[in-house]
């Protein structure tokens, strides 16, 4: 039995790189007491939650559950709301000393936070229940999770250290970086194998391999870098500067900036924010044109962004990477489909993006001879999904209907891109 993936294009489209913006940034504006949202290029700035709190800090979102979380250390409360800012509720209201940064374990449904003044890292369910102290540590301030390797990383407020421990129990605490001035904005790229952070008073954004290796300066000469986040599929880093902002083209004043994760092309995307503190991203796209905008800039050779192109030479076309939630510019050794037979059923699995894409039709077809293909009614199909934060696994259980003489031995996934 063989599996084939075919990628017929119903219409070859001409894409403009300056189309509707793909994805959103959401950030806490501590000075204005607002949770704000904008396009990834900084346009379309709006207020998502007004009167959000007296001293709002860390923010995190969970797309599958439609939840947004943020901390207010003025009132010592952690809030949950919907991604559109509605239905805000306090989920942790007691025993907090200085709730700062937040991180989410999307698969487990857990929220983690740093409590600077109580010298601990805590965890609870998304509704605030089953709360427990995971780690006792001096002045934790920013944190992130590496759920792939089951680690938690955090930076302390003034000790100049970055530490890590094992998940889920917080044991095996190690200091992996020391000698910094003031650690801020700790973020992990699990697949790329790096940890990133801002050193506020050294005016730098830096990184180091997760396993071991030298510290690398990504951006230097910054003013007061603070919260940060990574857009790993697009290879971008975003950071808030609560000083005068020294990146090229700055209009002065506190701002949000963006650049490549390897240190190229830093620029200001939102100028003169009141006091930005932390940032998170909703990078879902709804169309192939938006996906192209996220991954290719205006200087890219147009042929590289066509649906049947393969710029990273990993045997997956742009269309398949779009459908599967991959990066078209990063060579990825990922198996996108597989199949097995179990008790008279053919189990066909494929990877699919969590983005609400609207211009793809994906069809599973079967064949007895690889010449004639059928998408029904020769078989019944039961579809199951299992999702993580980046993508979902789609399982098709195919069972041959009675009365059909030819048994199917081959299956393929047909992906049609609809013309717009």
Count of all residues that appear for the chain in the document: 420
Stronger pLDDT, 43 or 13, i.e. the higher one? 43
List the single range of 63-67, 73-77, 112-116 with lowest mean pLDDT. 63-67
299 pLDDT band, cuts 50/70/90, is low
Residue 330 contacts residue 232 (beta carbons within 8 Å): no
Q: Find the mean pLDDT for residues 243-266.
A: 87
Q: Does domain 24-282 have CATH number 2.40.50.140?
A: no
Strand 2-6 versus strand 24-29 pairing type: unpaired
Q: Find the mean pLDDT for residues 95-100.
A: 97
Q: What angle do CA 235, 241, 242 make, to 5 degrees?
A: 160
325 burial (CB, 10 Å; 0-12 / 13-18 / 19+) is: buried
Stronger pLDDT, 169 or 361, i.e. the higher one? 169
17 pLDDT band, cuts 50/70/90, is very low
Query: Which H or E run contains 218?
Result: strand 216-219
Q: What angle do CA 34, 269, 356 make, to 5 degrees?
A: 75
Indicate the average pLDDT of the chain.
86
Stronger pLDDT, 350 or 123, i.e. the higher one? 123
* Residues paired with residue 124 on neighbouring β-strands, in sequence order: 111
Kindly list the domain boundaries of the chain, sorted by start residue.
Answer: 2-15+333-417, 24-282
10 pLDDT band, cuts 50/70/90, is very low
| pLDDT at residue number 378 | 61
Q: Find the mean pLDDT for residues 364-370.
A: 81
* Residues paired with residue 2 on neighbouring β-strands, in sequence order: 410
As given in the structure block, the two tokens for residue 110 are 């857990």
Q: Give the Å distances, CA to CA, from 65 to 109, 175, 238, 354.
A: 9, 34, 24, 12
Stronger pLDDT, 292 or 405, i.e. the higher one? 292
pTM score:
0.80
Q: Which residue has the tokens 């936070």?
A: 113
Q: Find the mean pLDDT for residues 301-310.
A: 87
Q: What's the topology of domain 2-15+333-417? A: Immunoglobulin-like (2.60.40)
- Cα–Cα dist 272/254, whole Å: 5
As given in the structure block, the two tokens for residue 159 are 């000790």
Q: Give tens-digit pLDDT for 150-190.
A: 999 999 999 999 999 999 999 999 999 999 999 999 999 98
358 burial (CB, 10 Å; 0-12 / 13-18 / 19+) is: exposed
List the single range of 271-285, 353-367, 385-399 with lowest mean pLDDT. 385-399
Q: Find the mean pLDDT for residues 301-327.
A: 88
135 pLDDT band, cuts 50/70/90, is very high
Q: Find the mean pLDDT for residues 26-45.
A: 95
List the single range of 235-244, 251-260, 290-299, 383-392 with lowest mean pLDDT. 383-392
Task: Reply yes or no on whether the pLDDT at 257 is more than 90.
Answer: yes
- Cα–Cα dist 11/127, whole Å: 46
Task: Reply yes or no on whether the pLDDT at 209 is more than 90.
Answer: yes
Task: Reply yes or no on whether the pLDDT at 213 is more than 90.
Answer: yes
Stronger pLDDT, 60 or 16, i.e. the higher one? 60
Task: Reply yes or no on whether the pLDDT at 290 is more than 90.
Answer: no
420 pLDDT band, cuts 50/70/90, is low
| pLDDT at residue number 16 | 29
22 pLDDT band, cuts 50/70/90, is low
Q: What percent of the chain has pLDDT over 90?
A: 56
| pLDDT at residue number 14 | 30
Residue 263's nearest CA partner among 206, 180, 202 is 206
Task: Reply yes or no on whether the pLDDT at 5 is more than 50.
Answer: no
385 pLDDT band, cuts 50/70/90, is confident
Task: Reply yes or no on whether the pLDDT at 13 is more than 60.
Answer: no
Q: Find the mean pLDDT for residues 57-65.
A: 93
* Count of Cβ atoms closer than 10 Å to residue 336 Cβ: 19
């Amino acid at each position: 039995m063989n599996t084939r993936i075919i990628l017929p294009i119903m219409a070859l489209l001409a894409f403009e790189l300056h189309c509707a913006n793909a994805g959103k940034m959401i950030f806490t504006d501590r000075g204005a007491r607002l949770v704000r949202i904008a396009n990834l290029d900084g346009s379309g700035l709006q207020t998502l939650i007004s009167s959000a709190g007296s001293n709002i800090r860390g923010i995190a979102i969970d797309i599958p559950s439609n939840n947004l979380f943020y901390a207010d250390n003025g009132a010592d409360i952690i809030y949950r709301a919907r991604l559109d800012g509605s239905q805000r509720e306090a989920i942790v209201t007691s025993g907090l000393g200085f709730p700062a940064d937040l991180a989410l374990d999307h698969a487990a449904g857990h929220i983690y936070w740093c409590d600077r003044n109580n010298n601990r890292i805590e965890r609870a369910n998304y509704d605030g229940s089953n709360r427990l102290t995971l780690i006792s540590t001096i002045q934790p301030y920013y944190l992130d999770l590496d759920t792939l390797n089951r680690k938690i990383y955090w930076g302390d407020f003034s000790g100049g250290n970055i530490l890590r421990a094992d998940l889920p129990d917080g044991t095996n605490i190690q200091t992996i970086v020391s000698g910094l001035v003031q650690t801020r904005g700790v973020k992990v790229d699990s697949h790329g194998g790096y940890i990133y952070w801002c050193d506020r008073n050294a005016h730098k954004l830096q990184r180091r391999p997760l396993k071991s290796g030298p510290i690398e300066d990504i951006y230097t000469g910054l003013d007061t870098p603070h919260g940060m986040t990574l857009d790993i599929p697009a290879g971008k880093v975003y950071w808030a500067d609560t000083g005068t902002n020294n990146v090229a083209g700055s209009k002065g004043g506190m701002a949000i900036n963006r650049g490549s994760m390897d240190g190229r092309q830093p620029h200001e995307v939102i100028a003169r924010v009141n006091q930005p503190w932390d940032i998170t991203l909703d990078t879902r796209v709804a169309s192939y044109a938006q996906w192209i905008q996220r991954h290719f800039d205006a200087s890219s050779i147009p042929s590289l962004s066509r649906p049947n192109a393969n710029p990273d030479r990993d045997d997956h076309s742009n269309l398949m990477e779009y459908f599967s939630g991959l990066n078209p510019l990063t060579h990825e050794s990922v198996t996108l489909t597989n199949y097995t037979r179990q008790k008279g059923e053919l189990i066909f699995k494929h990877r699919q993006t969590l983005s609400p894409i609207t211009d793809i039709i994906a069809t599973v077809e079967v064949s007895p001879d690889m010449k004639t293909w059928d998408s029904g009614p020769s078989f019944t199909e039961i579809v199951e999904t299992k999702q993580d934060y980046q993508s979902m696994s789609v399982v098709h259980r195919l069972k041959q209907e009675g009365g059909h003489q030819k048994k199917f031995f081959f299956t393929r996934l047909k992906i049609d891109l609809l013309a717009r």
